[in-house]
A and B are shown apart, each in its own frame.
Chain A
Amino acid sequence: DQQVKQNSPSLSVQEGRISILNCDYTNSMFDYFLWYKKYPAEGPTFLISISSIKDKNEDGRFTVFLNKSAKHLSLHIVPSQPGDSAVYFCAASASGGTSYGKLTFGQGTILTVHP
C-alpha cells in the first residue's frame, strides 16, 4: 500500500523555467510534509517542509504548496538551474502516536534541467 505517491518518474525542463514536482498521499493522518533532493551515491538533502496548518511555504527558489482536501502537494522551483538536476523525494509523517517521527517516502522523480 503506497501511502505517498510520485506518479511522474521523470521531468525535463529548460534552464530558467519553472519545475513543478507533484506528490499525492492517501493517509489523512499525515500532518507534516517534506521534500528531499538526492544525488547518486549520496544521502538525501532536506530542502523544504510544510505543516498541515499551512498551504504554502517558500524558501528562496523553492516553494511547496499543500492542498489538504485533494491530499496533494507540489514543489515549485523557479528559476530552474542545471545544478537542480537530481532525484526529488516527497515524504510525509503523522505526529504523535506510534508513528512519531516516522517518514513515509514517495518513489522519487528524476528532474533534469537542460542548459
Chain B
Amino acid sequence: DGGITQSPKYLFRKEGQNVTLSCEQNLNHDAMYWYRQDPGQGLRLIYYSQIVNDFQKGDIAEGYSVSREKKESFPLTVTSAQKNPTAFYLCASSFRRGGGNQPQHFGDGTRLSIL
C-alpha cells in the first residue's frame, strides 16, 4: 500500500540532545512538508521541500533542520536550540502540479517528549 511512514510513533529524549524524526513516502510525491501540532492549536509549518536537494523554511523553522537527498525521504532534526520541542510532529507529501493546488497527505505522526 502506498503511504507515508513516520517513525518512531513515540520518542523520548533528554534536554540538550538533538533528535531526528524519520519520514518516508512511496506515493511518488514531489513535495514534502513538516508540521508541528500543539494542544488546542492548528498545524504550523516547519519546513517544506518541493524537489530533491531543495527546501524552504516554514513559519516556525528556528531550532529545526531538514535534508532532502532522496525523493522518498525528508528527515527532520530537532536541535537543542529548539526552546519547546515537546509536540506532535506530522509529515505530509503532495504532487507538485496544478499551481500547488494539490491535497497533502499525512503520516500518523511522531510524538516527541523531552525529559
Q: State the A residues within 8 Å of B (CB).
A: 4, 6, 9, 31-32, 34, 36, 41-46, 49, 51, 89, 91, 93-96, 98-108
Which residues of chain A are near B58, meaning CB under 8 Å? 102
Q: How large is the interface on B (under 10, 10 to 19, 20 to 34, 35 or more residues)?
A: 20 to 34
User: Which residues 99-113 of B sit at the A interface, judged by CB distance below 8 A?
Assistant: 99-109, 111
Are A89 and B43 interface neighbours, CB within 8 A?
A: yes
Are B107 and A43 interface neighbours, CB within 8 A?
A: yes
Which residues of chain A are near B48, meaning CB under 8 Å? 101-102
Interface residue B45 (Cβ < 8 Å from any Cβ of A): yes
Closest to A98 in B: B56
Given contacts A102-B45, A107-B41, contact A41 B109 (CB under 8 A): yes
CA distance A36 to B94 in the complex (A): 14
Q: Tell me which of B4, B33, B103 contacts A34 (CB under 8 A).
A: B103
Q: Tell me which of B33, B42, B103, B111 contacts A106 (CB under 8 A).
A: B42
Which residues of chain A are near B101, meaning CB under 8 Å? 31-32, 49, 51, 93, 95
CA distance A9 to B41 in the complex (A): 10
**Subset of 22 A-B contacts with CB under 8 Å:** A31-B101, A36-B106, A41-B88, A42-B109, A43-B4, A43-B90, A43-B92, A43-B108, A46-B104, A49-B101, A49-B103, A89-B42, A91-B43, A96-B99, A99-B100, A100-B96, A100-B100, A101-B94, A101-B102, A103-B33, A105-B42, A108-B41
